[in-house]
């Protein structure tokens, strides 16, 4: 998304440092707080305890150095991409009920999105189908779905 912003703002030709600065400035207050806190933590982790006796620069390696912007993007991805805990996601999935005013189609769509994070694998369709029955707010719909018995597929339940 940021690349689209750069293109719209005419920043395609900007140098690496400027792109990185613009990206950090667009994080907002909370995003910057998290970014700078993680940067300080990373620096503390990688700085030797005898930093005063270590030379200020290291010899250049033969591998091309990653650009400041690319390194920043990777760091932000690590920082802001939440790792999923399937157990937590499954709890959220099985706790989900159709909300008042939520259409049946909206409810099914939300369940399918939540199920993706649950890592159900081959059980995906069966688990979504069962949760539709369990969580629908309309008892007539539930009874109709249950009447299908083992013939009920996710496609029919939708």
C-beta separation of 2 from 26 below 8 A: yes
Which band of pLDDT confidence, cut at 50, 70 and 90, is reported for residue 46?
low
User: Is residue 115 over pLDDT 50?
Assistant: yes
C-beta separation of 129 from 153 below 8 A: yes
Q: How far apart are CA 158 and CA 104, in angstroms?
A: 8
Kindly state the DSSP code that residue 61 receives in the 8-state scheme. P
Global pTM reads 0.53
Residue with tokens 């399937």: 86
pLDDT at 49: 58
C-beta separation of 98 from 107 below 8 A: yes
Tens of pLDDT, residues 79-90: 777 667 899 999
Q: How far apart are CA 135 and CA 142, in angstroms?
A: 9
């Amino acid at each position: 998304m940021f690349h689209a912003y750069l293109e719209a703002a005419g920043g395609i030709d900007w140098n690496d440092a400027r792109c990185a600065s613009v990206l950090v400035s667009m994080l907002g207050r909370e995003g910057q707080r998290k970014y700078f806190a993680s940067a300080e933590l990373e620096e503390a982790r990688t700085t030797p305890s005898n930093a005063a006796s270590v030379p200020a620069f290291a010899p250049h390696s033969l591998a091309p150095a990653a650009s400041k912007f690319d390194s920043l993007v990777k760091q932000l991805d690590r920082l802001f991409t939440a790792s999923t805990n399937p157990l937590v996601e499954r709890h959220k999935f099985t706790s989900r009920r159709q909300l008042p005013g939520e259409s049946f189609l909206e409810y099914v769509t939300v369940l399918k999105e939540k199920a993706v994070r649950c890592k159900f694998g081959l059980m995906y369709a069966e688990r979504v189908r069962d949760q539709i029955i369990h969580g629908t707010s309309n008892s007539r719909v539930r009874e109709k779905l249950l009447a299908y018995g083992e013939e009920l597929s996710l496609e029919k339940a939708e």
